[in-house]
Structure 1
Amino acid sequence: MKHSIASRRRLAARVAGVMLGLVSLATHAQGDYPTKPIRLIVPYPAGGLTDTLARQVADGLSKRLGQTVVVENKGGAGGIIGTDFVAKSAPDGYTLLMTIPGPITSNIALYKKLPYDPRTDLRPLSDIAMARTVLTVNPTVPAKTVKELLTYAQQSPGKLRMGSWGPGTLPHTIQAYMDKTYGVDILHVPYRGEGPLVTDLLAGQVNMTISSVTTLRQYVATGKLRALAVSGTTRARGMPDVPTFAEAGYGDEAYKIVGPTTLMAPAKTPEAIVEKLGREVVALVKSPEFQAKIDEMGAEPIGNTPAEAARAYKAYLPVALKLAADTGVTLD
């Protein structure tokens, strides 16, 4: 009996030693993070604001972390494909996500069978910047104000074609909101990302959109597109001469919603890695050089901590879900 007890004690001691060693190795590995390249997934094709911002973050983090951060575009299904890829990736800090709000907010209401739950499968690392959006039309549309646009839509059913960067994205929900609220008939035309959308908007294949100030302002400045109103409660830095929707006479909550572009990781990523990434991202975004780059994009820098980003997401989520629900749109 004594022998049996002694054997069990020796076995327990060996197991405890092995477990302690594994914990030590894991802690050491997290302390050395990163030891290999990091993948930064953008759930949209190249060419839009999310992609542009991701590449700036990747370049800055590569220098700060001493490891290459590689941007990979995994577009499709309104951001679902790329977001799902990260949500199901190993939570080791080597696969991250750069996303706008749609895939992690409104999609919860729009899809009954979303393959991931952003509330439990992902966690924010930092909100990088506030991406302001602007209602813009091709010059062939005879409207110079929001009121004129809606009048034209009422008088010419089916003539307006709203391009979006995918089903369930902001342009799509705004189009559905306008149809329902003002009794108009605007055709929704989804694309795989903002880049392809803008190409067709310039060519007149679609004739209106709500997309990022960053992407559209160069075409507005040269007269290739016409800006009617910006979202949010204040004018956008990148388009100070363009009124807000409220200034244009439309103070609906739907037009005040402005969401950030957020860096995220799989939910079970170790705290040590989350905190390290958070520190480095905050330092990067707060640097004068990076802030100048974001200003040049027409966006507004944020650079909050993981805890602050998590609180901001929790506050923004019900607002976005209500807008999605109010449109009556469902996508599956």
Structure 2
Amino acid sequence: MKQTIPPRRRWVMRAACAAVALLPLATFAQGSYPSKPIRMVVPYPAGGLTDTVARQLAEGLGKRLGQPVVVENRGGAGGIIGTDFVAKSPADGYTLLMTIPGPITANIALYKKLPYDPRTELRPISDVAMARTVLTVNSAVPVKTVTELIAYAKKEPGKLRMGSWGPGTQPHTIQAYMDKTYGVDILHVPYRGEGPMVTDLLAGQVNLTIGSVTTLRQYIAVGKLRPLAVAGTTRAKALPDVPTFTEAGYSDAAYKIVGPTTLLAPAKTPDAIIERLGREVSALVKSPELSAKIDELGAEPIGNTPAEAERAYKAYLPVVLKLTADTGVTLD
């Protein structure tokens, strides 16, 4: 005997089928994320702090996600090339960005036609580590303190050359600030990343820099470079004997700003993917193993959530933009 389905029940069944049909395919895809290797773009050449932290994170993240996480260096133009590549990539969780603040903060003020807007085209996943930096001179420069450096710069105008890993980065900002504040003449020499800059610093092609503790401390330890002061409000764990700028007698805001190394994704990446990556990165960074490795690198582990990283970015951005404007930094 044929069973008759009541009209109301038929209507409910049809509505349910229609609702399922309208669900985005991404809803189903997210359940299996990731199903292929993930690319983590570093907008600087290999060898610097950002690259080193990225490779440490990628190794552990790949194990937790069950798919390889491959670091790809796309350096150039002060981090613009790699950052723009990620901002314009498909928002599917398979192309991520690991960067220091410059490309997503100061570049907004430095470039009139920046090809991307980090405020609308990228979203934070997690601040992985706090990058500590140190004002360092080549051992041939006859100074041991910040005060002696300023006096030497006044005595020898144009003789000092300050290397940076790109226009608008912290070394460039400090160089411009010193020129403006103390009436000195220090030449800014931009590089495509910290690695190439350090090579020339050791060779004496440039005399000083504000560089990452991660990269510079090995040369400080053997006397090839001389540290003068660390940026930030506290001493760096990896250089406990080096004073802060404030301890050295310079409490200006320009010397207190430190920024994180942050993992980001294209802005339209689904919330479910961002939250999954955020949980994994946070747990990984806070694990004893990776936390110890980050400490060993001379950085300080953070591993916050996507929401916390977003709030931190919104608070940090106006401070950097104001400092960039106040210091008079311009592009070469």
Bin for the TM-score computed over the shorter chain: over 0.9
Cα offset, 1:40, TM superposition: 0.2
For residue 120 of structure 1, give the secondary structure of its aligned residue in structure 2: helix
Q: 1:47-66 maps to which residues of 2 (within 5 A)? A: 47-66=47-66
Indicate the RMSD between aligned Cα atoms, in angstroms.
Answer: 1.6
| Equivalences for residues 265-304 of structure 1 within 5 A | 265-304=265-304
In structure 1, C-alpha distance between the alignment counterparts of 2:41 and 2:95, rounded to whole Å: 7
Q: Distance in 2 between matches of 1:168 and 1:58?
A: 27
Q: Report the equivalent of 2:232.
A: 232
The residue correspondences of 1:1-332 to structure 2 (distance < 5 A) are 20-21=20-21, 23=23, 25-331=25-331
CA distances 1:165-224 after superposition (whole Å, capped 9, x unpaired)? 011111111111111111100000011100000000000000100010010001001000
SS at match of 2:241: coil
Distance in 1 separating the partners of 2:15 and 2:51: 48
Residue 4 of structure 1 is matched in structure 2 by none
Q: Provide the rounded CA distance (Å) in 2 between the counterparts of 1:104 and 1:290.
A: 25
Q: Give per-residue Cα distances to partners, 1:64-86, cap 9 Å, x unaligned.
A: 00001000000001101000100
SS at match of 2:23: helix
| C-alpha displacement of 1:306 | 0.1
How far did 1:322 drift?
1.0
Give the partner amino acid of 1:159: K
Q: Secondary structure at the match of 2:57?
A: helix
Contact kept in structure 1, 2:43 and 2:83, CA below 8 Å:
yes
Q: Partner letter of residue 253 of structure 1?
A: A
1:8 equivalent in structure 2? none
Q: 1:331, CA displacement in angstroms?
A: 2.8
- Measure, in 1, the Cα distance between the counterparts of 2:129 and 2:220: 22
CA distance in 2, matches of 1:45, 1:197: 11
Take 2:111 and 2:331, find their aligned partners in 1: how far apart are those partners? Answer: 6
Q: Distance in 2 between matches of 1:15 and 1:158?
A: 76
Q: State the AA in 1 paired with 2:68.
A: T
Q: Which structure 1 segments of 5+ residues have no match?
A: 1-12
Aligned to 2:211, the other structure's residue is in SS state: strand
Q: Secondary structure at the match of 1:129?
A: strand
Aligned equivalents of 1:151, 1:175: Cα separation in 2: 14
1 CA distance for matches of 2:328 and 2:214? 29
Task: Tell me if structure 2 keeps the 8 A contact 1:44–1:75.
Answer: yes
Q: What amino acid does structure 1 have at the position aligned with 2:175?
A: Q
Q: How far off its partner does 1:16 sit?
A: 9.0
Shift of 1:329: 2.3
Deviation at 1:25, TM superposition (A): 3.2
Is the CA contact (8 Å cut-off) linking 2:172 and 2:329 kept in structure 1?
A: no
SS in 2 for 1:53: helix
> Which AA in structure 1 matches 2:224?
K
Question: Does the 8 Å contact 1:126/1:281 carry over to 2?
Answer: yes
> What percent identity do the matched residue pairs reach?
81
Tell me the amino acid that sits aligned with residue 133 of structure 2.
T
Structure-2 residue corresponding to 1:6 = none
Using the TM superposition, give the Cα deviation of residue 19 of structure 1 relative to its aligned residue in structure 2, in angstroms: 6.7
> Which secondary structure does the structure 2 equivalent of 1:247 belong to?
coil
3-state SS of 1:91 partner: coil
For residues 229-269 of structure 1, the C-alpha deviation after alignment (integer angstroms, 9 at most, x for no partner) is 00000000010000000000000000000100000000010
Letter in 1 for 2:58: A
SS in 2 for 1:249: coil
- Matched-pair contact (CA < 8 Å) for 1:111–1:330: no
> How many Å apart are 1:27 and its aligned residue?
1.2
SS at match of 2:135: strand
- Distance apart, 1:26 and its partner CA: 2.0
Aligned length: 321
TM-score under structure 1 length normalisation: 0.94
C-alpha distance in structure 2 between counterparts of 1:14 and 1:142, whole Å: 83
**Quick one: which amino acid aligns to residue 37 of structure 1?**
P
Q: C-alpha distance in 2, partners of 1:108/1:16?
A: 47
